[in-house]
Amino acid sequence: MPASRRHHRTLAVLVNCLGVIAAVPALPPAAPRAAAAPAQPVPPPAVVAAPARPQAVVTPIPTGVPAVPPAVPTTGPAPVQPSMPPVSVAVGAAGTPAPGYRIEVRNAGTTPVETMVRQELPSGSRATTVTGGGQATGPVGATAGEITWRLRLPARSTTALHTALAVTSPGRSVTAPTCVYGTDGTRPYDCATATWVDTATAPAAHATAAPAWRRPPVLLAALAALLVVTGGVLGWAARRRRRSAPHARRAAASGGAPTGGAVPTGGVAADRGTVYPRPALPAPASRRRRPPVWLAVGVAAAVLAGVVGAAAWTATQRVAAMDTTKQPTSGAWVGSTVNGGLGVPLRETAFEFTVYRMSCGAGVVPAGPGGGRPCLATVGVRNVTSEQQTWHGQLQRAYLPSGNWVAADEDATRVANLGRDVFAQPVAAGRRVLLPLVFTVHGAQPPKRLELRSGVFSAGVRVDVD
């Protein structure tokens, strides 16, 4: 055998051996029991006769698959579902000359609950009376802020709190929303609101109706009645003319004709002869009477005035309903934008939004990875339709004094809700949810206004929070 062929065969044998050695670890063992338990020496006959303890059979793990027990989940931890204690709050306005409120916090559970109660003070007001150990806080140099209580509610108890405010501009309504939170002061248990009205200086508003001649429905009804009366008069006149026309023609045809026999002429009797009928005179051609020109012109002018008036009134109503200050996103709007302040329920096409509180600064929620200052808004959302409705965080906006806006920070909102994604599930029909929304802003100025909506085509609501 030549040396070159012998070398080739030797090289081929080495390559095949290396391939077999590399493939052996990837093959499953032929005997699972042997792989699970090492071989034991053969016992003596006396030991073999004894009953043997059964061995557990373990399925080998293929090469390349990590040995993870089946009970260990491969995904991240499930979000924490917060347990909401049965704590509720009710707010009522006092019938006092100055703005006053009565707050009742109730714990319907069987265990005591640590809570924090916050009452938002409207702009231009300050607290004069606070009971229950509450403290009025607010920014330095400002006349607005909040009143805070830290309460330990006994089981099945109701705690009553009272507050009184002083306003810089008397004679206006004052709304002061109140929420009860957990000990962290961010997760709301319940919220309520009340509006105090100064009945002494603000008389009840009486709706004054417009004069009858300025009401479009009355004008249209009068025009229609005029047209009906005019048509009836014209029809009655035409019928009378049609009835009297045959009598006039018969009278004209028979007037001055002899009735028969000879007619004495010059005192001499004439012979009676046959009287032939006088040939009929041609009937005068009857002209079809038309209504007077002034009547036709008057009716046409009335109809034209009615049409022009109705068109002008409709156009005026549509122009008055337009909101030129709206900042649209895309598509056509459904409904009109509703404006209000803190604690005022505002309804749009699908949801009723109520913003109870707005707070910015450190300690609200952890700041996001991109930096910025978090601002937390406590918002109540009620589905006013008969079907479940979805909403999205990108449609909820906070407008800054500069005119720029930021959408809701969904990651920070999930953290504020203890890992629960409030936008993942729709809101059931007739249900009300109370949750914190977080907006991350850049700069020292807090948001001036919130814009909330249920869908892309909804006009939404705008809440002044400054």
pLDDT digits (tens, 9 = 90+) for 42-75: 444 444 444 444 444 433 434 333 433 444 444 4
Helix (H, G, I), strand (E, B) or coil at 113: strand
Least confident of 5-9, 64-68, 313-317: 64-68
**So what's the pLDDT on residue 268?**
47
Half-sphere exposure of 169 (CA within 13 A, CB side): 6
Question: What does the pLDDT average to over 90-113?
Answer: 93
The residue type found at 36 is A
Total H helices, total E strands in the chain = 6, 20
Please tell me the predicted confidence (pLDDT) of residue 2. Answer: 56
Sign of CA dihedral 411, 416, 419, 425: negative
Torsion over CA of 371, 434, 391 and 322, rounded to 10 degrees? -100
Residues 184-207: tens digit of each pLDDT:
888 899 999 999 987 766 554 444
CA distance 395 to 450: 11
Q: Cα dihedral sign for 320, 321, 323, 328?
A: negative
Q: Specify the pLDDT at position 449.
A: 93
Under a CB-based contact definition with an 8 Å cutoff, are residues 219 and 309 in contact?
Answer: yes
Q: What is the C-alpha separation between 332 and 415, in angstroms, rounded?
A: 34
Please say if the pLDDT value at position 152 is more than 70: yes
What residue has token string 């429905």?
217
| CB contact at 8 A, 174 and 98 | no
Mean pLDDT, residues 446-456 taken together? 91
Give all domains of the chain, ordered by start, each with its CATH number.
87-196 (2.60.40.290), 338-464 (2.60.40.1240)
**Cα separation of 365 and 199, whole Å?**
41
Q: What are the backbone dihedrals phi and psi of residue 77, each rounded to the nearest 5 degrees, phi first?
A: -70, 145
pLDDT tier at 84 (50, 70, 90 boundaries)?
Answer: confident
Mean pLDDT rounded to a whole number for the chain: 74
pLDDT at position 30 over 60: no
If you average pLDDT over residues 243-258, what whole number do you get? 62
pLDDT digits over 232-249, tens only? 777 777 777 777 766 666
Tokens of 253: 């045809």
* Residue-level pLDDT at 214: 64
Summarised one tens digit per residue, pLDDT across range 352-368 is 999 999 988 755 666 55
Mean predicted confidence (pLDDT) in 386-414: 92
Mean pLDDT of 261-265: 49
